[in-house]
A and B are shown apart, each in its own frame.
Chain A
Amino acid sequence: MGKNRALKGKTIDKNREADKKIKKIEEEIKNKIDVLKTQRSGVLCYPFFLGGISMSPSLVDDIYEDIRDKCKDCDGRLDVILDSGGGDIDSAYNLALLLQRVGHRELNFIIPRWAKSAATLLACSGNCILMSPVAELGPVDPQITELNPLEGRLEQFSPLHIDSTLDLIRSEFENGNEKLAKGLLERLQFPLTLGSFRKSLDIGRQYLIRLLSSRMYPSPEDSQKVKEIANRLTEGYADHGFCIKIEEAKAIGLKVKELTGNELDIVWEIHKLNKERRKIEKQKEEEKVMDMIRNLPPGLIDKLPQDIQKKLRSIISEE
């Protein structure tokens, strides 16, 4: 009991220290954002830092609250520094329309490193995307996560994989491997919902067409180009993780510019500070979780499998 109290005191001290460091980093980030604003002719800059947090309907409420507060003095020109791995595509579309409303004169997205999946859709709502030399966009094919009831494991796939699976079965039939093809067909899960999964590609495409034709390519003459970009981003890549760098983004027709000079220096500094902040946050979290583990009632720990009990005890005794 005494040891636990001492450890708790140690954790509180470490947390205070971590909070101080985080505060200092956040102040530095805020200063860099102000410098960027001056550098970019006074355009208001909104930091959209999600890291590993995914966009979802309830996050829309929180971001809306935050934007109402931070962007109330916006003159209709808005830069958004975007760092996100994506999330729910409907929420991304909702946020895209919100940001377009705030940046009604001009909306630009600045990508230091990542704007993947639904975050790419968000970036496509701007007039222009400004990318660092290592910034990545990604395909917008929705990811479907399902629990495979036969094997009790989680499976994540793209609707595009449905086509490749059906192609594989078809080719086995055509090559005379009927038994193998039938076996594969029997293993298909949720056959009735496969069609609706496949159809979900259309949602991303429709959102992309709407967003691209509202800012990047508003002229009706560009409607074919918009469709081509939307098709490419939803169905044109073999894998959801495909790395779309600036050259590829330009090649598919997106309006992108490479960050250079002072702007690149500032944006990259912001990215590095963000990374440092995340590292300290993680260390703080590890302390918190160790505290939570120590406070688990013995009954709950005893119900855990032997190997986890052993592992936990060895971690706690190492402290």
Chain B
Amino acid sequence: MSVPNHPAETPVPPVPELDLSSAAVTERPPGVLRSGLRLWRTRVGLIFVTILVAIALFGRYIAPYSESKGIALPNQPPGETRLPSTFGSGYKGQDVWTRFLYGGRPILISAFLATVLALFLGTLIGLVAAYNRGKLDDFLMRVMDVILALPQIIAALVVLSMFGATTTVIVLTVGISTAPRIARVVRGTAVSVVERDFVAAAESLGESKTRILISELLPNVTAPLLVEANLRLTFSIGVIAGIGFLGFTPDPSAANWGLMIFQNKGGIVPNHWGVTLPVAALALLTIGTGMMGDGFSRATGGIDRARGDA
């Protein structure tokens, strides 16, 4: 009975000297984008959004009929249409499936452009207010309060009634009324960044204000900005689909998911598909962007989505 003497047999290889201090400096934590995409909710959200964006942008190329072609009497269920149709006909006897494939693009493009405009304006105003403080800060934030005092959909209704519901007016109205919400978040985050040493260092090096805003402050507010962008896209889709539902679209004869729900609401009993398809699309799209926003906010660590968004 001999007991093997293990420790003596395998010599421990020398541990290479690790310079931990330099590693800690050079190795940055994974970005919000990447750590957010590791969560299942962000991925599921991304899948929903990708499918719906694909339908909205490219659906028209696989549509069986042209956008305005009548295929049957109004509100006929599938199987009772004059020309073959999977989902029946809508309020004007047009093919529901075709109208559905055409109807996402106007909403999606306006919502995207409005969010981009809001992000640009909101970030600019938020950063300028946080950096300058004092009277300029007070003035800018008061202007933001005035815009916030009007519920978005009401502001949109009034402006659209005056200037007509063109895509430009829709994008400008929704973008400008969304900007204050972003400006508040950006200002709130940037106020504490302004106090930090590297900003003072940049100032003492004589960097210009623009440069400090762009290369010192902006990189430090990107995480909440990413969360906010998703949230605002979600709400912009809702508002733009909502004003479409109320009858304000650039082209009343063109297909539009919001307007389509309103138009086919009366025919819901004979053929529900005219309502069900756009409703499902809008629900999945907004749930998708919402899940992505939630995933990113979890990745940034407890940014509370419930700041209240009226």
Query: Do A and B actually bind?
Result: no
